[in-house]
Structure 1
Amino acid sequence: KSRGVAILIKKNIPFTEIKVLKGKEGRAIMLLLEIMSQKMLLVNIYAPVWGGGPTFFYRLNAKLQQFNDIPIIMGGDFNEVLDLQLDRSIKAKPHVSGTNRAIHTLISDFNLVDVWRVVNPTMRDYTFFSHRHNSYSRTDLFLISRSLIGDTFAVDIEIRTISEHAPISFTHSGILGLEKSRNWRLNVSLLRLPEVQALVKKAISDFYKCNPKGESDTGLLWDTVKAVLRGKLISYATNRKKERLQKTIELEQEIKEKELALNFHNLQYLKYEFNKLMSQKVEFALFRVRQSYFEAGEKASKLLAYHLCKLTASHNIHMIKNDSNRQMVTNRDINLTFKQFYSKLYTSESGVDISDSNTYLADIKLPCLDPGDRDVLEAPIATPEIKKAIEIIKSGKSPGPD
């Protein structure tokens, strides 16, 4: 219970799990998967702090041998720096530890690179602060196969807020462009805010001033006012989100500056403000979960519809290949490829002469109904016919909604 690692994958990412390996002590997990027609090995580790580092990495090296020639993305807390000069804030006499040698052996054997250092060759930035030594170090890393460097989009060290470690974000452009269509849903928690209540009242009042009821259809007016309110609420929510995001960015920058200056008194207050913003985000996410599952009470209809919606989304087409064997991943490119394929499929390759078609149709003698039979078919249904139809219905059957 004192340690553990995990690999989380967003639900709209199309992938196929091939193999999973877990460490006995909860310090490593490996996931071999296929994503975008490419096999990839994801590894998450939490290396021991004292003593067992070299043994841990040599064992990890041995386990990775079975995944030869497969691109690797390895991340986690290595509890060791790679560059003894650049990855520490305190300049000390270089001492190459056994753990450091084991990590470099792993990097050499599998042709890995420290992707953050590749993007920032001479920059100093750190992921861990030691209160005991009053120093910073970069012990949280992303090691990736050299073949993946060309697809690297961004690597960033984020700010430390709750943990003593700073999170690292690494974007691989191989899965960029995967889109998820979303239906707009009203954020009902906004209706509790006094300014939103005033906004809604004013919007309804202004609408009926410009659109008096008169002889207008009530249903049409209701649909129109809903569209107006939707626009107002989307605009308000968007501005509110931008303000919150801007405040978050400013707090992140200020926290980073205070960290480098070792100003711990002001740093605690800034972290409190930042965590308060994050807590609001988490509360809203939990609110949405409760709404999805419990707003229908004991009725199963809403819950069933929610799961069917998720099931439908999981069957979406996330990638196809066009005539040039190129992979199309965005919704726009996929739709365009389908359009081109079916346009070509249903385009006749032979020319048609309209005069020949008219001559052919003119010579065809199609059967016609007699006037008497036509009158019988068009006559109203009689009561004996209905009784006869009911009598021949199989027992135990009932009409459906159709």
Structure 2
Amino acid sequence: MPIICPVDFNCVLDEVLDRSPPRVGTKLHMTVMLRSVMDNLHLVDIWREMHPTSTTFSCYTPTHGAFSRLDRFLLASNGTLDVRRADYQVRFLSDHSPLLLECGTHAPRPAIPLWRMRPELLGDLEYRRDIQEALTGYFGGNWTTAQSRGIEWEALKVAIRGESLTKTFVRN
């Protein structure tokens, strides 16, 4: 699912590239918090990704005589959006420049059909015996080696699927 988060937290992420004049060595609490949120949610500043060395600013503060890049779009870093353009527009009616984001979504991949066990196999006593042997063998060799019960469950399903497919192909 695409995530687009437009933000203006009134802080810069890079004191050198996002502010003029730069304040080198300054670490603001808000900047640290915003970076932490971005890291935890796997978000990227898409404009900075597309313009890694540019010094374009989105805000002018006359009191400090400073330009800053405060406005940004944070996007999920999983690449679900096809970003074609991210550009600041001419500032008007506000002290902030609008940021234009033009994007589409990637064509959805066709779903891989899920494997389902054929229920009629449960009525086959030989199949049930084979599965029981496979499970006994699985638990005998793997019960304590997995790092979590979730991994154990996924591996068990793979073992059952493999045994079922083998028996299905052998019988057909």
TM-score, normalization by structure 2: 0.59
Q: Deviations over 1:240-263 (max 9, x none)?
A: xxxxxxxxxxxxxxxxxxxxxxxx
2:104 corresponds to 1:104: no
Kept in 1, the 8 Å contact 2:83–2:104? The answer is yes
**For the residues of structure 1 that align with 2:24 and 2:46, how far apart are their CA atoms?**
26
Structure number with the bigger relative contact order (C-alpha 8 A, sep ≥ 6) is: 2
**For the residues of structure 2 that align with 1:89 and 1:139, how far apart are their CA atoms?**
12
Find the counterpart in structure 1 of residue 157 from structure 2: none
Find the counterpart in structure 2 of residue 344 from structure 1: none
What is the one-letter code of the residue matched to 1:118? E
Kept in 2, the 8 Å contact 1:127–1:157? The answer is yes
Percent pairwise identity: 29
Q: CA deviation at 1:94?
A: 2.1
**For the residues of structure 1 that align with 2:50 and 2:110, how far apart are their CA atoms?**
31
Find the counterpart in structure 1 of residue 140 from structure 2: none
**For the residues of structure 1 that align with 2:15 and 2:65, how far apart are their CA atoms?**
17
Among 129, 132, 141, the residue aligned to 2:72: 141
Kept in 1, the 8 Å contact 2:85–2:103? The answer is yes
2:106 corresponds to 1:159: no
Find the counterpart in structure 2 of residue 72 from structure 1: 3
2:21 corresponds to 1:90: yes
**For the residues of structure 2 that align with 1:325 and 1:149, how far apart are their CA atoms?**
15
Unaligned runs of 5+ in 2: 112-172
Unaligned runs of 5+ in 1: 1-38, 40-70, 176-320, 327-402
Whose Rg is larger? 1
Kept in 2, the 8 Å contact 1:112–1:143? The answer is yes
Structure with greater strand share of residues: 2
Alignment of 1:110-121 (within 5 A): 110-121=41-52
Alignment of 1:51-70 (within 5 A): none
SS of 1:173's equivalent in the other structure is strand
Q: Deviations over 1:144-203 (max 9, x none)?
A: 00113761111010010110000001112229xxxxxxxxxxxxxxxxxxxxxxxxxxxx
Q: 1:83 to 1:114 in 2, by over 3 A?
A: same
Find the counterpart in structure 2 of residue 181 from structure 1: none
**Equivalenced residues, count:** 111
Q: CA deviation at 1:325?
A: 5.2
Alignment of 1:2-401 (within 5 A): 39=1, 71-148=2-79, 151-174=82-105
SS of 1:121's equivalent in the other structure is coil
Kept in 2, the 8 Å contact 1:85–1:94? The answer is no
Q: CA deviation at 1:91?
A: 2.4
What is the one-letter code of the residue matched to 1:158? Q
Structure with greater helix share of residues: 1
**For the residues of structure 2 that align with 1:164 and 1:144, how far apart are their CA atoms?**
24
SS of 2:4's equivalent in the other structure is strand
Kept in 1, the 8 Å contact 2:80–2:105? The answer is no
Q: Deviations over 1:106-156 (max 9, x none)?
A: 011011111000000001100000000111000011110011376111101
Kept in 2, the 8 Å contact 1:78–1:141? The answer is no
**For the residues of structure 1 that align with 2:30 and 2:98, how far apart are their CA atoms?**
22
TM-score, normalization by structure 1: 0.26
What is the one-letter code of the residue matched to 1:115? I
**For the residues of structure 1 that align with 2:93 and 2:79, how far apart are their CA atoms?**
31
SS of 2:79's equivalent in the other structure is helix
Q: Which runs of 4+ in 1 moved over 6 A?
A: none
Q: Deviations over 1:69-116 (max 9, x none)?
A: xx4211031210011110001022321111011001001101111100
Kept in 2, the 8 Å contact 1:107–1:113? The answer is yes
**For the residues of structure 1 that align with 2:75 and 2:24, how far apart are their CA atoms?**
29
**For the residues of structure 2 that align with 1:103 and 1:118, how far apart are their CA atoms?**
16
SS of 2:35's equivalent in the other structure is helix
